[in-house]
């Protein structure tokens, strides 16, 4: 596959005849314009089962989006962090076959890879049930025991 670095006036954006130019995650690309379908073919049972599994994983990850965006940021190369988490959980955490889909929570992953560590962490017990952790960047987390 070829990469379009720059056109005469920069990266191509929009439709130009039978091609469409766009940029995704800083990567300019061109593709063929989609063909208009008048009568789509009926979906097979396997395709419907796969679509339901995709919906299942999507609904599973919705509450974790903020954590996934941070937790998979270092593993997301040429894709979003959410797509990296989606792929991992789609293939490893989902059990069963449609319509009996389930989750193996021991294999579910919302963070993977390396995260930057804390700078000079300091912990203090401010009350019998409250511990405050802070770093040089003045970030504090309060945890109830």
pTM for the full model? 0.56
Greater pLDDT, 18 or 3: 18
pLDDT at 145 over 50: no
3-class secondary structure per residue, the chain:
CCCCCCECCECCCEEECCEEEEEECCEEEEEECCCCCCCCCCCCHHHHHHHHHHHHHHHHHHHHHHHHHHHCCCCCCCCCHHHHHHHHHHHHCEECCCCCCEECCCCCCCCCCCCCCCCCCEEEEEECCEEEEECCCCCEEEEEC
User: What residue spans define the domains of the chain?
Assistant: 1-34, 45-103, 118-145
Residue 7 pLDDT class (50, 70, 90 cuts): low
The per-residue pLDDT for range 35-70, each reduced to its tens digit, is 877 777 888 999 999 999 999 999 999 988 888 888
Choose the weakest-confidence range: 13-17, 76-80, 111-115, 118-122: 118-122
The per-residue pLDDT for range 109-123, each reduced to its tens digit, is 888 877 666 677 777
């Amino acid at each position: 596959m070829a990469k379009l670095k720059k056109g005469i006036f920069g990266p191509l954006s929009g439709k130009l005849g039978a091609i469409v130019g766009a940029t995704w995650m800083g990567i300019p690309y061109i593709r063929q314009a989609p063909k208009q379908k008048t009568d789509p073919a009926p979906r097979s049972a396997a395709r419907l089962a796969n679509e339901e599994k995709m919906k299942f994983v999507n609904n599973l990850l919705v509450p974790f989006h903020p954590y996934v965006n941070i937790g998979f940021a270092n593993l997301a190369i040429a894709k979003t962090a959410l797509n990296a988490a989606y792929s991992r959980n789609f293939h490893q955490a989902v059990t069963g076959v449609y319509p009996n889909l389930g989750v193996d929570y021991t294999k579910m992953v919302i963070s993977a890879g390396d995260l930057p560590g804390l700078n000079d962490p300091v912990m203090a017990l401010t009350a019998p049930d409250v511990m405050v952790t802070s770093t040089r960047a003045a970030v504090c987390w309060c945890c109830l025991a």
